[in-house]
């Protein structure tokens, strides 16, 4: 389990979840409600339902269950039976839901949509973290998230033991090839070191400055500008090893981040090159959902 102090479901995550669950419930109910429950379920019917893991994985998003049912009814109790970031096994109960059957059924799909998606991210992240155990490399996410899901997806990465990259364009400088192409036309200078220096001079002093390179020649140039981090884009392991040697000799304080097409099959070899960071878009854009389900434990009329 990751350090729970880094896993706080804070104000940003709560606000993000409330916005999304409001949209989700509106999609399901419009101004009409659940036609099936209106036809078949009596207002006095009550139930206890268990949220059960069908497969092995890492759970994330449990606080959202309570938010969904609070939005539907103040008569539904959501009781988490484990913590976000915990490993769960098939058949394990991760939460219990107790209250009016109608409200339980209305909230079922919305809750599972959140939990299965976020737990899938946490589970995939944990697999990458496990593959790189014993190396210096940390596993990071990217900005490749579903629109509106950014803070929740990055929370799920932390639940899986990963580390967050910048949250958005506002909290870090990352100079990429298109930035250089546009900037160099304006100033008549394509030096990465010059771009880093300019970015540093025009940014808050405590803001991280990172620059992307895709050749070792560009790495030499970038290191002259003294960035905080250099992103090594789509380099093979031999190139990454040489990049680490260059960095160690020229600017040992600079962190090196590998990125581009990283998979579970390749991440160990990449980590063993000596890079400090490995960023993986697939953590948030391609994680399969974790199989969780609502199982009825008891129904009372």
Determine the average pLDDT of the residues in 147-171: 97
Q: Under a CB-based contact definition with an 8 Å cutoff, are residues 141 and 162 in contact? A: yes
Please tell me the predicted confidence (pLDDT) of residue 280.
98
27 has catalytic annotation: no
What is the edge-to-edge ordering of all strands in the sheet holding 229-233? Answer: 138-140, 277-279, 255-259, 229-233, 209-213, 173-175
List Cβ<8 Å contacts ≥24 apart for 185-194. 191/221, 191/225, 192/218, 192/221, 192/222, 192/225, 193/221, 193/222, 193/223, 193/224, 193/225, 194/225
Q: Under a CB-based contact definition with an 8 Å cutoff, are residues 195 and 185 in contact? A: no
Q: Under a CB-based contact definition with an 8 Å cutoff, are residues 296 and 49 in contact? A: yes
Where do the domains of the chain lie? Answer: 4-129+287-300, 130-285
Work out the percent of the chain whose per-residue pLDDT is above 90: 93
Determine the average pLDDT of the residues in 264-281: 98
Determine the average pLDDT of the residues in 179-200: 91
Work out the percent of the chain whose per-residue pLDDT is above 70: 98
Going by C-alpha positions, the residue among 99, 103, 51, 44 that lies closest to residue 72 is 103
Q: Identify the bridge partners of residue 284 per DSSP, sorted by sequence position.
A: none
**What is the CATH T-level fold of the domain 4-129+287-300, as seen in this structure?**
Aldehyde Oxidoreductase; domain 3 (3.90.1170)
Token digits for 162?
């990963």
Q: Under a CB-based contact definition with an 8 Å cutoff, are residues 129 and 159 in contact? A: no
Choice among 75, 109, 136, 185 that is catalytic: 109
C-alpha to C-alpha distance for 30 and 33, rounded to whole angstroms: 7
- pLDDT one-digit tens code per residue, 20-57: 999 999 999 999 999 999 999 999 999 999 999 999 99
Choice among 84, 212, 257, 276 that is catalytic: 212
Determine the average pLDDT of the residues in 112-128: 98
Going by C-alpha positions, the residue among 105, 44, 23, 29 that lies closest to residue 69 is 105
Determine the average pLDDT of the residues in 79-91: 98
109 has catalytic annotation: yes
Which ranges of the chain would DSSP assign to H, the alpha helix? 11-29, 35-40, 62-72, 101-131, 150-159, 177-187, 192-201, 216-224, 237-250, 267-271, 282-285
Choice among 144, 197, 226, 241 that is catalytic: 144
pLDDT of 4 strictly over 60:
no
Please tell me the predicted confidence (pLDDT) of residue 187.
82
Query: Confidence class of residue 66 from pLDDT cuts 50, 70 and 90?
Result: very high
Q: Architecture of 130-285 per CATH?
A: Alpha-Beta Barrel (3.20)
pLDDT of 235 strictly over 70:
yes
Determine the average pLDDT of the residues in 199-210: 96
154 has catalytic annotation: no
Q: What residues contact residue 118 under an 8 Å CB cut-off, 6+ apart?
A: 60, 61, 64, 152, 153, 155, 156, 159
CA-based radius of gyration for the chain: 23
Choice among 75, 136, 176, 185 that is catalytic: 176
Q: Identify the bridge partners of residue 299 per DSSP, sorted by sequence position.
A: 47
pLDDT of 1 strictly over 60:
no
Q: How high is the mean pLDDT of the chain?
A: 96
176 has catalytic annotation: yes
197 has catalytic annotation: no
Choice among 84, 233, 257, 276 that is catalytic: 233
Q: What are phi and psi of 202, to 5 degrees?
A: -105, 10
């Amino acid at each position: 389990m990751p350090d729970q102090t880094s896993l706080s479901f804070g104000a940003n995550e709560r606000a993000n979840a409330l916005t999304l669950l409001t949209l989700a419930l509106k999609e399901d109910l419009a101004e009409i409600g659940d036609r099936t429950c209106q036809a078949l379920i009596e207002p006095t019917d009550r139930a206890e339902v268990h949220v059960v893991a069908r497969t092995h994985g890492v759970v994330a998003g449990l606080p959202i269950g309570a938010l969904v049912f609070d939005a539907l009814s103040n008569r539904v109790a959501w009781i988490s039976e484990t913590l976000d970031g915990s490993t769960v096994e098939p058949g394990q109960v991760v939460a219990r839901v107790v209250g009016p059957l109608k409200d339980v059924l209305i909230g079922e799909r919305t809750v599972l949509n959140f939990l299965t998606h976020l737990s899938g991210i946490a589970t995939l992240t944990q697999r990458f973290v496990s593959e790189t155990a014993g190396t210096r490399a940390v596993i990071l996410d990217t900005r490749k998230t579903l629109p509106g899901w950014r803070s929740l997806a990055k929370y799920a990465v932390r639940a899986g033991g990963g580390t967050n990259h910048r949250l958005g364009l506002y909290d870090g400088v990352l100079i990429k090839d298109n930035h250089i192409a546009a900037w160099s036309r304006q100033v008549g200078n394509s030096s990465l070191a010059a771009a880093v220096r300019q970015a540093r001079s025009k940014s808050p002093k405590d803001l991280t400055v990172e620059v992307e390179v895709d050749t070792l020649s560009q790495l030499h140039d970038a290191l002259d500008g003294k960035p905080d981090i250099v992103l090594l884009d789509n380099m093979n392991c031999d190139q990454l090893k040489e990049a680490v040697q260059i960095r160690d000799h020229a600017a040992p304080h600079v962190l090196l981040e590998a990125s581009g097409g990283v998979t579970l099959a390749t991440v160990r070899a990449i980590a063993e090159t000596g890079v400090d960071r490995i960023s993986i878009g697939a953590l948030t854009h391609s994680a399969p959902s974790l199989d969780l389900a609502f199982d009825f434990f008891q129904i009372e009329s």
